[in-house]
A and B are shown apart, each in its own frame.
Chain A
Amino acid sequence: MKMTYREALRESIKNALDHDPRTYLMGEDVGAYGGTYAVTKDFLELYGPERVIDAPLSEDGFTGIGIGAAIGGLRPIVEIMTVNFALLALDQIINSAASFRHMSGGQVSVPLVIRTTTGGGRQVAAQHSNSFEGWIAHIPGLKILAPATVDDARSFLHFALEDQDPVLIFEHALLLNKSEEVSEKPQMINPYKAIVRKEGSALTVITYGGMLSRCLEAAANKDGVEVIDLRSLRPLDNETIFSSVRKTHHVLIVDEGWKSGSLSAEISARITENCFYDLDAPVQRLCRKEIPIPYARHLELAAIPQVKEIATKIQEMLS
């Protein structure tokens, strides 16, 4: 059967609310508005205001409440409308949620789940188009997931809720209407393993989230291209990455963050450290151009890697 990414997210939240009375959803406009991306339409009627809570514009505060509630025995699903607004909650996320277990000598568990929407490309300009997941993946103590497929959008929340540590799920804005063939029941595949979405032996393309479908499209009619979907940005699945590199000897990383100090830089460094003698050429990267995202369409398209740019790069690297 076919399912959209949006429907998948919706189903996963429903399952959580249906099966675990400790869960609740809290965020801006998740209830009466039906969710800013219509993911939780009708949920307020279905579950009531105790389980689906519309928060005031207080990201720092309601993330902090989520931390306290999680420590106190509930399983909060905190929705931060977009990653752009998550910056307001970074103190809670980094100094508290990520740090409490370690700082307390292992006593405190913060089973908090934060879902947020990321990515650019809808002409909503600089402050609404950021892609911070790679940057936030720098922080020890967090787990960072980026579902790129409808299957993963269906199952990631379940894994996140089972986790005793804070998990952030970055849902990509451009994937919401994407429709894919799915099985009756959600596929439960360990999110902390990268998946090879297309096999090949000449070039490894490493990517995640909104860039996956672009990479697959760019690699469609080209033999030898292996495309890896990272799925988890922290921890990274070194094994899958390294065994692919050892096979193909060429790497292209496609990352929606800005190039400098990005997740792609981290992956590139790891490959250099661990697979140096397996490489036939330097690791290449395609990332955002180093500017805040502009509004005008042609400028926006030029700032974020598009299928054409990825395809050209792949072709170049294959020859």
Chain B
Amino acid sequence: MEELCAELYTQEKIRGFLHLYIGEEAVVTGVMSLLKPEDNVMATYREHGHALLKGVSARSIMAEMYGKVDGCSHGRGGSMHLISIKDRFFGGNAIVAAGIPQAVGLAFASKKLKENRQTVCFFGEGAMAEGVFHEALNMAELWKIPILFCCENNFYAMGTALSRSQSQLELTKKAEAHNVTSSTVDGMNVFEVIEKTKAALEFIKNEGRPYFLELQTYRFRPHSMFDPELYRNKEEVLKWKERDPINFFKNQIDKNILTDAVLRDLEKKVEDEMQDAVAFAESSAFEPLEDLEKNLYENDIQGSIEGIH
């Protein structure tokens, strides 16, 4: 899907900002495999994979990126704001770290309403430099709010390496400074992601306290489509590519289960699903201009009062 998006972007079908997840797949796949439809997920602007695995259809995602009315956010959000309430997928946040306290709020509500619902919040390591990250972790631990914090550490906040921007590189220590229990995970190994996430979710369920997972991973593509990647060298990227999570997975699975035929079949299914999504997006309509000022308030109070000049 991500590769297709890159292609479509060069064809100008997708505009604005596009942030690809290629290389980080094991993180979202591992974590999401343990969640249920009623669980809450908050993510960042690099969230296509998160949306897809939370149940937002590829059609709905593609149409959103095309800016069409059948997109999950009806074309109002675009790539960075994939939101689907019915799938409990809350986006899709472009302000780094802003979603973290919001996810704590979602978990807080679930706890108060006695819902059987888990809450997971994804963010990058860059977000840990924002003040609000600390505010949110402090309050989550202070008030015993059951939430899983997943830091997707891909070692670069846009173009700034972690080592150049944070004084404490052992990221779990930052969570521990707020008394939040934490551990580090090899984010290129989907099995380890699953194992450690499972343990974290158990902890949250039993202790009723937050948990912080640092998942170490790497994005093989630039930050976004505009990034000339002046800040890192090709050798580093190639080294991480040797640990490609999809290849790793393929190599770990028993060849009698993941036969060539099964693999070809899977790849074809994916190809078909993506082509279908693109066809859907192409044929979907744009929202009519008359609806420009709608969906600002529940009852369009601005519309009824502002239409003077």
Q: In the assembly, what is the distance between CA of A54 and CA of B299, in Å? A: 33
- CB neighbours (8 Å) of A70 from chain B are 105, 109
Count of interface residues, chain B, beta-carbon cutoff 8 Å: 51
Q: Are A74 and B113 in contact (CB under 8 A)?
A: yes
A59-77, CB < 8 A from B: 60-74, 76
- Is A192 on the interface with B (CB-CB < 8 A)? yes
Q: Are A106 and B295 in contact (CB under 8 A)?
A: yes
Q: In the assembly, what is the distance between CA of A72 and CA of B106, in Å? A: 5
Interface string of B277-309 (1 = CB under 8 A from A): 000000000000000001111100110011011
Q: Are A104 and B109 in contact (CB under 8 A)?
A: no
A231-257, CB < 8 A from B: 235-239
Q: In the assembly, what is the distance between CA of A56 and CA of B90, in Å? A: 26
Q: In the assembly, what is the distance between CA of A50 and CA of B302, in Å? A: 36
Q: Are A101 and B106 in contact (CB under 8 A)?
A: no
Nearest A residue to B71 via CB reads A105
Q: Are B139 and A103 in contact (CB under 8 A)?
A: no
Q: In the assembly, what is the distance between CA of A100 and CA of B302, in Å? A: 16
What's the least CB distance linking B81 to chain A, in Å? Answer: 5
- Is B132 on the interface with A (CB-CB < 8 A)? yes
Contact flag A69-B106 (CB < 8 Å), given A60-B101, A61-B138: yes
Among the listed A50, A74, A104, A109, which residue makes an inter-chain contact with B298, where contact means beta carbons less than 8 Å apart? A109
B91-122, CB < 8 A from A: 91-93, 95, 98, 100-110, 112-113
Q: In the assembly, what is the distance between CA of A108 and CA of B142, in Å? A: 28
Count of interface residues, chain A, beta-carbon cutoff 8 Å: 52
- CB neighbours (8 Å) of B308 from chain A are 238, 270, 273-274
Among the listed A50, A61, A102, A103, which residue makes an inter-chain contact with B136, where contact means beta carbons less than 8 Å apart? A61
- CB neighbours (8 Å) of A273 from chain B are 308-309
Q: List 28 A-B contacts (CB under 8 A).
A: A22-B113, A24-B112, A50-B112, A53-B143, A58-B135, A60-B101, A60-B132, A61-B132, A61-B136, A61-B138, A64-B132, A65-B139, A68-B109, A71-B106, A72-B106, A73-B109, A74-B113, A95-B95, A101-B298, A102-B296, A104-B91, A107-B85, A108-B90, A140-B302, A165-B298, A235-B306, A238-B306, A239-B305
Q: Are A236 and B100 in contact (CB under 8 A)?
A: no
- Is B83 on the interface with A (CB-CB < 8 A)? yes
Contact flag A103-B81 (CB < 8 Å), given A61-B101, A91-B98: yes
- Is A82 on the interface with B (CB-CB < 8 A)? no
- Is A118 on the interface with B (CB-CB < 8 A)? no
- Is B75 on the interface with A (CB-CB < 8 A)? yes
Q: Are A101 and B297 in contact (CB under 8 A)?
A: yes
- CB neighbours (8 Å) of B84 from chain A are 107
- Is B228 on the interface with A (CB-CB < 8 A)? no
- Is B209 on the interface with A (CB-CB < 8 A)? no
Q: Are B81 and A61 in contact (CB under 8 A)?
A: no
Q: Are A192 and B301 in contact (CB under 8 A)?
A: yes
Interface string of B125-159 (1 = CB under 8 A from A): 00000011001101100110000000000000000
Nearest A residue to B82 via CB reads A104
Q: In the assembly, what is the distance between CA of A50 and CA of B294, in Å? A: 37
Q: In the assembly, what is the distance between CA of A73 and CA of B107, in Å? A: 11
Q: Are A143 and B297 in contact (CB under 8 A)?
A: yes
Q: Are B102 and A68 in contact (CB under 8 A)?
A: yes
Q: In the assembly, what is the distance between CA of A164 and CA of B306, in Å? A: 20
Q: In the assembly, what is the distance between CA of A105 and CA of B100, in Å? A: 22
Nearest B residue to A237 via CB reads B305
- CB neighbours (8 Å) of B72 from chain A are 105, 107
- CB neighbours (8 Å) of B309 from chain A are 270, 273-274
- CB neighbours (8 Å) of A123 from chain B are none
Among the listed A96, A163, A236, which residue makes an inter-chain contact with B305, where contact means beta carbons less than 8 Å apart? A236
